[in-house]
Amino acid sequence: MQQSFVYEAQPARVVFGSATSARLPEEVERLGLQRVLVLCTPQQTSLARRIQSLLGERAVAVFSGATMHTPVDVTERALAVVREQKIDGVVAVGGGSTTGLGKAIALRTDLPQIVLPTTYAGSEMTPILGQTENGLKTTQRSPKVLPEVVIYDVDLTLSLPAAGSATSALNAMAHAVEALYAPDTNPIISLMAEKGIRAIVSALPRVIRKTDDPDARYELLMGAWLCACCLGATTMGLHHKLCHTLGGLFDLPHAETHAIVLPYALAYNAAEVPTAMTHLRRAMNTDNPVQALLQLERQCSIPLALRDVGMPHEGVATAVAQVMANPYRNPRALGQRALSELLERAWSGSGID
């Protein structure tokens, strides 16, 4: 059957492989940057200092205050450094928290960005920025937040612990799962999503068994990149709305929240998205993608319930009200009772019948 569609590729230069961090100086020079600010979280300051050393005089400062959900007050502190140091570009080293801060700076200043991911979060491939202020996380899309260059260095992921690798990879997988049934999905997205999910399902158990396996890490990073591209080219639905809401309200860990919610959100929509489920069955080599997801998560020994990552039980009603007040488009209509049941199950980790 013929299908008319629109596919809009996101502009980005990607450098992929092992030891590719060494190419950072030439990428900085190619962009004509002279006064670079290196961004990181407090936990990755030593890595940021190594990157600063690699760039020499061009890296004039390190800002190590990046944190989850991109709080607006953190962005303001980083912008003060940008102004004081006359920064002309940023290098973000780390996961989604650091990438988010670089995007927030770019939104306000239009400064060029180079990202060196150390996780599988995928934010570097999307024109989406989520920011948190006063307990409310909001998202927006703008081409201004897209990094100019992404350097994927498999070596930077080798030290990521097993649990962190699992939750980050499942976060990436959620991008592709939801893209398969987005209202603006298309055959190109479906190809990338199926390939990305298959790579993650294949590589993740190997990484859990042996975290420094370079071949498994390579495949996992490639899969995460493909999944992120899917999110960058489509709109978000219930899964991302729930995770953004929960993260903003309760400051829950980003990747863990995505991993926990994913099978429950998929089960909620499954009956309405038969084509997406066909792609998932092929990608995961299973007749029941929802149960296969739950089984994969059990194998990874990660938190399986929202209560285990800090969500209070009384927060279920608050989260449902906020989702219903400003929903994302979704294949299945949102109902308060059904959403409450979904979140109750995800909160307790009771699984899906």
Structure confidence by residue, pLDDT tens digits, 170-188: 999 999 999 999 999 999 9
**Angstrom distance (rounded) from CA 327 to CA 334:** 8
Buried b (16+ CB within 10 A) or exposed e, 152-178: bbbebbbebebebbbbbbbbbbbbbbb
pTM (2 decimals)? 0.93
The band of 8, judged by pLDDT with boundaries at 50, 70 and 90, is confident
Q: Which of 131, 44, 149, 139 is nearest to 89 (CA)?
A: 149
Under CATH, to which class is 162-348 assigned?
mainly alpha
Residue 268 above 90 pLDDT? yes
Check if the beta carbon of residue 119 is closer than 8 Å to that of residue 160.
yes
**Angstrom distance (rounded) from CA 243 to CA 256:** 10
What integer is the mean pLDDT of 87-93?
A: 98
Q: 94-108, 130-144, 251-265: which range is least confident on average? A: 130-144
Q: What pLDDT does residue 207 have? A: 98
The fraction of the chain above a pLDDT of 70, given in percent, is 100
What integer is the mean pLDDT of 39-65?
A: 97
The band of 49, judged by pLDDT with boundaries at 50, 70 and 90, is very high
What integer is the mean pLDDT of 18-44?
A: 97
According to CATH, the topology of domain 13-157 is Rossmann fold (3.40.50)
Q: What pLDDT does residue 139 have? A: 85
Q: What are 199-229's pLDDT values in tens digits?
A: 999 999 999 999 999 999 999 999 999 999 9
Domain positions in the chain: 13-157, 162-348
What integer is the mean pLDDT of 156-166?
A: 96
Length of the chain (residues): 353
Q: What are 300-348's pLDDT values in tens digits?
A: 999 999 999 999 999 999 999 999 998 899 999 999 999 999 999 999 9
